[in-house]
A and B are shown apart, each in its own frame.
Chain A
Amino acid sequence: MRAAAHRNHPAWWAFLAHRLSGLALALFLPAHFLVLATAVEEASFDAFVAWTDRPLVKLAEAVLVGLLALHMAGGLRLLALEFLPWSDTQKTRIALAFGAGFAAVLLTLLMARP
């Protein structure tokens, strides 16, 4: 992608990751509310949980938790950038945000082992 060479730097990738994770969360959220309420209401929640008990669904859930952690860490980084005095450690903060996302994925996968 030569035309987009000006974008290839940490802060831009952090922006894209934050935007896409936010988008994914926003699309997932109504579904999450819907499924939760419907399943509990119709007492089919445990059947639903059984449905989610497959490796692929588990992985997807872990990724979603990871996206939430990533978006939160990236968002906190932005809030610090916008409301606290400028600091020249932006790259470190970006790395920390990505780290938090991956840590959350790993943690969820480990904890969710039956």
Chain B
Amino acid sequence: MADLVVNVWRGEGFETFRVPFLESQTVLDVVTWIQRHLDPTLSYRFACRVGMCGSCAMTVNGVPRWTCRTHVSKVAKDGRLEIRPLRNMPVIKDLAVDMAGFFDKWQEAGGRFVPTRPGVLEFARVDPENPERRQASAGIECIGCGVCYSACDVVAANPDYLGPAALNRAWTLVNDARDGDRIGHLAAVADDAGCHACHSQGSCARHCPNHLNPTGAIAGLKREVFRALLKGDL
């Protein structure tokens, strides 16, 4: 098998590397091989290598992906890879982006569990099969990788937009029977640059490596905000 031709973003343009092709090789393996064997100054980020920590996402041949779980054989086109940092986040160096703004928006979206009033002793009885809990359970599988955020054109056009991951997080809390501030969560996402900026383009759901559906979560938020308005709660 011929070597892979790998174009890697280095800040001022692409640098081309030749990397031996191996069976079952992941894109993260390729980047690591370059750093270990060709250029130790290449910067990128990873931790778990098994799709749990959400730190390794990059843009591979134009599509945002978790590189540790993406096989080269699936994405290389004619033995070529183009690896860029994630879109919609400031680049620190090479393939490492600054995710601080991305996570700040989780706070802005009210993505924090609010306990019920201190001193309340009853346990919340949560049926794992009820519809709300199923929505929440689906959404909490997010690993915070930023792939959806990078895929979203609305984030690209409106840097204030909270984005799919933060809104997906808010949706899990709106559906969490134990959370003490459902209306507060809805108020946070109903703000300008909140869930109503989304045009249901679905790129987030399309590319989420965990097959979450932020598009559906955001539609749910729009619906619940509307309901709360009708009831006069918001």
Any A–B CB pair closer than 8 Å: yes
Segment with Cβ contacts to A, from B46-54, B119-127, B211-219: B211-219
Establish whether residues A12 and B62, one from each chain, have CB atoms under 8 Å apart when the complex forms. Answer: no
Question: Would you give the 0/1 interface string for B181-221, flagging 1 where the beta carbon is closer than 8 Å to chain A?
Answer: 00000000000000000011111011100000101100110
Number of B residues with CB within 8 Å of any CB on chain A? 23
Establish whether residues B219 and A82, one from each chain, have CB atoms under 8 Å apart when the complex forms. Answer: yes
**Interface range for A:** 20 to 34
Q: Interface SS of chain A: helix, strand, loop or mixed?
A: helix
Establish whether residues B202 and A90, one from each chain, have CB atoms under 8 Å apart when the complex forms. Answer: yes
- Candidates B153, B206, B219; contact of A81 at CB < 8 Å: B219
Q: Is A47 an interface residue (CB 8 A)?
A: no
Establish whether residues A9 and B203, one from each chain, have CB atoms under 8 Å apart when the complex forms. Answer: yes
Q: Is B61 an interface residue (CB 8 A)?
A: yes
Q: Is B226 an interface residue (CB 8 A)?
A: yes
Please provide the chain B residues from 163 to 190 with a CB less than 8 Å away from any CB of chain A in the complex: none
Shortest CB distance B16–A (Å): 16
Chain A contacts to B: CB under 8 angstroms: 2-7, 9-12, 15, 19, 78, 81-86, 90
Chain B contacts to A: CB under 8 angstroms: 61-64, 82, 151, 153, 199-203, 205-207, 213, 215-216, 219-220, 222-223, 226
